[in-house]
Amino acid sequence: MKRTISFFLLLLITLNQPLFAACEVAKIKKQQDGTYSYPVDCHADYGRLKKVEVEREKQVALLNKTIELKDLALDTSLKRVEIWQKSTYKVEDRLLKFERNSDTMKWIYFGLGILTMSAAVHGASKIK
């Protein structure tokens, strides 16, 4: 995703740069030795384009860093959600275990109560 955005930004920068130049192509003359001679306004336009290119490269670098930080923030938030889900499941399991143990303990207390009453009745009958 980051590379795609960077590619489109660089493509946009590359395609838009010739639009900023006011140099007329007809004024460029080819020399006999294979080099070209450019008018002064073409050199000035090139200097402005280079300055803009440097600034745009900085902007692209900042945008890439912003995208990396956004991805890091999303990863961190997803990890927090996973931790929250795990802790929620653990707490729910503990509560269910406590409820099951609570029902079991009620039956155990009921049985112990009956045994205690039986022992008390048996002990009272031996006192006579």
Spatial separation of the C-alpha atoms in residues 63 and 5, rounded to whole Å: 9
Q: What is the DSSP letter of 26?
A: G
The overall pTM is greater than 0.75: no
CB atoms within 10 A of CB 13: 15
At residue 126 the predicted structure's pLDDT band, cuts being 50, 70 and 90, is confident
Structural domain boundaries in the chain: 2-127
Tokens of 113: 């109560």
Percentage of the chain modeled with pLDDT above 90: 40
Spatial separation of the C-alpha atoms in residues 99 and 17, rounded to whole Å: 72
